Amino acid sequence: MNSELQKKILNTVEQNLPELYEIRNYLYENPEVGGEEEKAYALMTRTLKEHGFAVTENFHGIDHCFRAVADSGKPGPAIGLTAEFDALPGMGHGCGHNIIAAAPMGAAFALQSVIEETGGKVVLFGTPGEECICSKVPLAEEGAFDEVDVVMTVHPNPVNQASGKTTAIDSWQIDFYGKSSHAGARPEEGINALDAAVHFYSLIGFEKQYLKDTNIYGVFADGGEKCSVIPDHAAVKYLVRAKDMKTIEQIRAMFERCADAAAKAVGATYKIWRNEPANKDMVTNETLSEVFNKYYEELGGGEMPQIDSTGSTDMGDVSYVVPAIHPWIGLNCPSYQLHSKEFADTTITKAGDRAMKLGAEALALAGAEVLTTPELLDKIKAEFKKGE
């Protein structure tokens, strides 16, 4: 990438910083949880339209989801970026989604400024409810990201961390069905669904101790209401974390085996179903990640150490359908934790300003290198195809 193109990108980010900081601050001052992001959605879509982006609202039928595109009309790659803007109950933007809204938008504006020279297009996807409804999951399943060659975002963090693995997560409810009966008068006519659920809970407890790098915890959701009535329904809810989807699938098979055994032990029946959104593990495209890290470090952002995360994100689902990265940009607050009020407050400090600016610049520069270097995109795609 030539120096003039790089200079234009950095200048564009700089010119738009006041507006981007206002957006970040407005989201901080007006936090909205997933599914309720009306103010953030209105502000972001209006701003993108004012900057000349073609905006599709309620994209794929998802409330507060959008697709904003700047297209040169010339041949070239399509660079995808994702923005998040939901807050957490009780603590506002404790996960820094106000920065995840503004920094990728800044990168989109910068790439828009050069695509007449480079060709191709830039697409910013507004993805609501990352903390709860996980809108990237249906978008990935329905092919929304098929139009782009890569997808990138940045996530604020107490310290820098290169894009790497995240944890796959799934959530299941197991319902057991028996037959109610008077526990004193006709116990022999009942089929105790709670007994099946207790058997199942015990079996999972025995099985999970042999599983490496997993996290499996459950709670009883229903077990009857009156001691004098044999319960005809009982339910257990589980949250399951593992290193990848292959392991999640193996655990699901184990759940089926244990549920079947527990139900047969008392003569009950059962059903297992997903009761909350699941996230695949993040499969970072290392070729693309190296490009981002190079620019972030050259800009003065500091080293990007390789430390896999124990958290989960719906960006993992995106990484299964298109080459993707999810780097963590540090706000220089190592004593704070994500999902805390202290971290939310840090997003609007000078440290937050710096991280947001550098994140937008590095995203845009990495995107521009993909736009201008065909052999780089070939390498990115070859790595992705090898991992399929």
Q: Are 96 and 84 in contact (CB under 8 A)?
A: no
Query: Domain spans of the chain?
Result: 3-166+281-387, 168-274
Q: How would you classify the pairing of strands 324-325 and 150-152?
A: parallel
CB atoms within 10 A of CB 332: 16
pLDDT at 307: 86
Q: What percent of the chain has pLDDT over 90?
A: 94
Rounded to a whole number, what is the distance in angstroms from the first to the last CA of the chain? Answer: 30
Sequence length of the chain is 388
Q: How confident is the model at residue 259 (pLDDT cuts 50, 70, 90)?
A: very high
Q: Tell me: the pLDDT tens digits for 163-188?
A: 999 999 999 999 999 999 988 888 88
Tokens 């997003």 map to which residue? 347
State in words which class domain 3-166+281-387 has. alpha beta
In tens, the pLDDT along 36-70 reads 999 999 999 999 999 999 999 999 999 999 999 99
Question: What global pTM score does this model have?
Answer: 0.92
| Tokens read off for 143 | 């092919």
Residue 31 predicted with pLDDT over 90: yes
pLDDT at 155: 97
Local confidence band at 136 (pLDDT 50, 70, 90 cut-offs): very high
Query: Which whole-number Å values give the CA distances from 259 to 116, 139, 197, 209, in the listed order?
Result: 59, 32, 8, 17
Domains 3-166+281-387 and 168-274 share a fold: no
Query: 222: which residues sit within 8 A by CB, 6+ positions away?
Result: 231, 233, 234, 235
Sorting pLDDT into bands at 50, 70 and 90, what band is 310?
Answer: confident
- Find the mean pLDDT for residues 304-323: 93
In this prediction, residue 11 carries a pLDDT of 98
pLDDT band at residue 251 using 50, 70 and 90 as cut-offs: very high
CA distance 268 to 171: 22
pLDDT bin (cut points 50, 70, 90) of residue 109 is very high
* pLDDT (mean) for 326-335: 97
- The pLDDT, as a whole number, for residue 308 is 82
pLDDT of 388 strictly over 90 = no
Q: What is the DSSP secondary structure assignment for residue 135, as one 8-state letter?
A: T
Architecture of the domain made up of 168-274: 2-Layer Sandwich (3.30)
CA distance 219 to 227: 20
- Bridge-based pairing of strands 233-242 and 215-222 is antiparallel
Q: What is the mean pLDDT of residues 112-116?
A: 97
